[in-house]
Structure formats: structure tokens, C-alpha cells
Amino acid sequence: MKKLLAALGVSAALALSLAACDKSPGKLQFQNTDLTGLSYAEKLSLTDHTGKPVTLDTYKGKVIAVFFGFTQCPEVCPTTLFNMANVMKELGPQADQVQVLFVTLDPERDTQELLAQYVPGFDKRFVGLRGTPEQTAAAAKEFKVIYNKVPGKTADSYTIEHTAATFVFDKNGKIRLYVRDKQDPAAIVHDLKLLLS
């Protein structure tokens, strides 16, 4: 019986080690929500903070992290961008293979010039994206991002309630991860390294 248990233990250890080495799509041990194989968030067509039209294909060959927000967001958006800046630092040289995109849900106030100041302020490699209100609505729908304008005391002091999550794509432009708000940067680093390997 002891020999049988020992043999089973060795087999289990071997199976675990083989599983850990399996890097085929969908088999990686992500710490964030695995979206591999889902068919949404397949396109994004907006203008970057330099005025250049971009799509997801613009950044093919890199791991892409997309976050929807707005520059006047009091907490969630700056915290997310700050955390992603720390993720880039932790990745070291590998960070050059990652592209962070911040999509504004407030194109009325978030001008190209404002995005050009705000977004790269967290990391010079980060890119801000904007579109018309119609393009913004289409992008949000494609990513299943819900957002709602909440009136303020004046016409231009409104805020925006929105889905707070980061969507991560692999180097082939396929969606792979949903990173929830306030996720530990170490978990993001872990998963990005898997996608970069």
C-alpha cells in the first residue's frame, strides 16, 4: 500500500510539473480572469493623443492593456494608471513589449491636448485614445463597458460612472484577460509575463 501511495505521489508531482510547463493557449495559470476564446472586444478604432488613427492591429506584436475612463475621474482611473505604471517598472525591459491604452469615455472634455498631457504623465509609453461620442459608445459596446453620465452642480461638472476593469490582449491581438479594479499589481505582472513568454 505504501509503495502504491508513493507511486501515486510521484505521478501526481510529475503531472503537476508537466501542467506548469504547458504554455499552450488557454492552459496558462492566470491570476486574473481568463477570457481566452471569447469573441468580444475584437476591434477598437479611435484616435490617439497625437492625432493618429489607431486600431488594435496598430499594436500587434505587443501585449495590449486597455482601460476605459476619463481624466477628471477622482480615484479609480488615476489609481489604475498609477498601478499599471508600477507594473511596467516591475516588468523591466519586457515593458517595451506592452502597450497600455487609456480610452476616454468623456470626449467632450478630454481633448487630444489634455490626453497628451494626462496619460503619458503616468508612463511615457502610455497612449490616450478618444473618438466622437458615437465612436466612444461603439467602442464601449464592443468591450461590454457600461458608462453613465451623472449630472453635477453645473453643466460641465458632471462625473461618469463606468465599468472599472482592464482588458488584456496577447501579441496576436486576441483577448485573454479581464483585470478587475484594484487588482494587486503583482498579479498583473505575473500574468503579463506569462503572455510575454
Domain assignment present for residue 146? The answer is yes
Cβ contacts of residue 19 below 8 Å, gap of 6+? 27
49 is in an annotated binding site: no
H or E segment at 195? helix 185-196
Phi-psi region of 182 (alpha: psi -120 to 50; beta: other; left: phi over 0): left
Domain assignment present for residue 54? The answer is yes
CB atoms closer than 10 angstroms to residue 65: 23
Domain assignment present for residue 10? The answer is no
pLDDT tens for the 197 residues of the chain, in order: 333 333 333 333 333 333 334 444 446 799 999 999 998 999 999 999 999 999 999 999 999 999 999 999 999 999 999 999 999 999 999 999 999 999 999 999 999 999 999 999 999 999 999 999 999 999 999 999 999 999 999 988 899 999 999 999 999 999 999 999 999 999 999 999 999 99
As given in the structure block, the three cell numbers for residue 177 are 484577460
Domain assignment present for residue 15? The answer is no
Domain assignment present for residue 16? The answer is no
In this prediction the pTM is 0.85
- Can you give the residue range of the structural domain that contains 101? 26-196
190 is in an annotated binding site: no
Report the CATH number that the domain containing residue 127 is assigned in CATH: 3.40.30.10
